[in-house]
């Protein structure tokens, strides 16, 4: 009986997963990135995203929601979902980068299947910074602040 209980606990915990997939941008034309606004997402996500892009030397312009991805040479879209489980936490986020309308990079973080894992309770700003750093690995941090 003890073995069966242990096996059930192990199977339950193994079903709990947190994933992060990054397809980094290898080449970018220009230093301006236009971000299509998303009013459905907590404004702090956009603030963190803009701040990190600027720290890497990019010029950032926010476009109105539903703007076409062809509105600028380089455009980005993003989304984020918060979930309640003991506390509210960032459970899902993605960022996509387009150059001339073609997708050239994307990052996705997903802890919606994190179940009993406590490492799903992350700082949203820190996660967005990490995603941007992995999306643009070869772009400098202009201020070298480590933030």
| Count of domains observed in the chain | 1
For residue 21, CA distances in Å to 24, 72, 107, 144 come to 10, 26, 6, 25
- Please tell me the predicted confidence (pLDDT) of residue 132: 93
Both ends of the chain: CA-CA distance in Å? 51
Question: Does the residue 49 lie in any domain?
Answer: yes
| Average per-residue pLDDT for the chain | 78
d(CA 123, CA 44): 11
Domain that holds residue 71: 18-135
- Please tell me the predicted confidence (pLDDT) of residue 21: 84
Tens digit of pLDDT for each residue in 61-102?
999 999 999 999 999 999 987 776 675 566 778 999 999 999
Question: Does the residue 144 lie in any domain?
Answer: no
- Please tell me the predicted confidence (pLDDT) of residue 15: 52
Question: Does the residue 108 lie in any domain?
Answer: yes
Q: What is the mean pLDDT of residues 120-126?
A: 69
- Please tell me the predicted confidence (pLDDT) of residue 65: 93
Question: Does the residue 82 lie in any domain?
Answer: yes
| CA 84 from centre of chain | 19
* 49-83 core/surface letters (b: 16 or more CB in 10 A; e: else): bbbbbebbebebebbeeebebeebebbbbbebeee
Question: Does the residue 146 lie in any domain?
Answer: no
d(CA 63, CA 26): 24
User: The whole model's pTM is what?
Assistant: 0.76
- Please tell me the predicted confidence (pLDDT) of residue 96: 97
CATH code for position 129: 3.30.160
Q: How confident is the model at residue 13 (pLDDT cuts 50, 70, 90)?
A: very low
Q: What is the mean pLDDT of residues 16-45?
A: 86
């Amino acid at each position: 009986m003890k073995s069966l209980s242990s096996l059930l606990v192990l199977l339950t915990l193994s079903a709990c997963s947190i994933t992060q997939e990054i397809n980094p941008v290898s080449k970018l034309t220009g230093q301006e990135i236009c971000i299509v606004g998303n009013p459905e997402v907590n404004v702090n996500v956009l603030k963190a995203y803009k701040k990190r892009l600027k720290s890497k030397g990019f010029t950032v312009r926010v476009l109105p929601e539903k703007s076409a991805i062809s509105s600028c040479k380089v455009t980005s879209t993003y989304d984020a979902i918060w979930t309640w489980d003991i506390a509210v936490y960032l459970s899902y986020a993605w960022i996509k980068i387009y150059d001339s309308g073609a997708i050239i990079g994307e990052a996705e973080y997903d802890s919606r299947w994190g179940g009993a894992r406590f490492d799903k309770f992350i700082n949203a700003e820190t996660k967005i910074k990490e995603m941007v750093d992995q999306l643009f690995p070869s772009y400098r941090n202009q201020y070298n602040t480590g933030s």
